[in-house]
């Protein structure tokens, strides 16, 4: 499922960069489907990013990159995939 999330994130973020409303809509719709599906089990951190529409953070996390903690970071400096 993570590969589907990653593909949808790439579609969405590339669409934003290219100001392609159709790609943005497709990417967001797919991500919303995934998050809303009760049968889909995502890592809690990934689910958090997607529910809060922190798409760049979600993509960075999927790539194994360190993600700077946001406002709700619980005091963490960075969030890693650990």
pLDDT in tens, 40-51: 999 999 999 998
Domain that holds residue 61: 2-79
**Pair of tokens at residue 17:** 């960069």
Note whether 47 and 2 are within 8 A (CB): no
Q: How many CB atoms lie within 10 A of CB 72?
A: 9
d(CA 79, CA 50): 15
16-39 pLDDT tens trace = 999 999 999 999 999 999 989 999
Q: Which residues pair with 37 in a beta bridge?
A: none
Number of domains in the chain: 1
**What residues contact 35, with CB distance under 8 A and at least 6 apart?**
42, 47, 50, 51
User: Does residue 82 or residue 38 have the better pLDDT?
Assistant: 38
């Amino acid at each position: 499922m993570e590969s589907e999330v990653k593909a949808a994130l790439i579609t969405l973020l590339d669409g934003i960069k290219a100001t392609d409303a159709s790609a943005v809509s497709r990417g967001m719709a797919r991500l919303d489907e995934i998050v809303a599906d009760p049968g889909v089990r995502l890592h809690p951190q990934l689910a958090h990013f997607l529910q809060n529409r922190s798409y760049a953070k979600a993509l960075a996390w999927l790539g194994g990159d360190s993600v700077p903690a946001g406002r709700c970071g619980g005091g963490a400096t960075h969030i890693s995939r650990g």
